[in-house]
Amino acid sequence: MADYRMVEHIPDLIQAEEYDRHPEGRLVRVSIRVDGEGVQVLGDAFRPELLEKLLETLGPDAIEQMLCG
């Protein structure tokens, strides 16, 4: 299991105006970037448990997350 770390900021991939278009709450958005330091997978979801399950299957050492609000 990955080590979860709280961070102050992660870029939003879902904007507030999208909430009304997805009343069932199943929207998950993922961004994958590759650079000189490795692979970065960012995710945003209405239901965090869906995103956490997806990220954990990738086998990372750590998953960074932030409190929303």
Q: What is the pLDDT of residue 7?
A: 95
Mean of the per-residue pLDDT values for the chain?
Answer: 92
Domain residue ranges in the chain: 3-65
pLDDT band at 1 (very low <50, low <70, confident <90, very high): confident
Q: In terms of C-beta density within 10 A (0-12 exposed, 13-18 middle, 19 or more buried), how is residue 45 classed?
A: buried
pLDDT in tens, 43-67: 999 988 999 999 999 999 999 999 8
Task: For 1-62, give the DSSP string.
Answer: -PEEEE-S----SS-GGGGGG-TT---EEEEEEEETTEEEEEEEESSHHHHHHHHHHT--SE
pTM, entire model? 0.82
In this predicted structure, what is the pLDDT of residue 8? Answer: 94
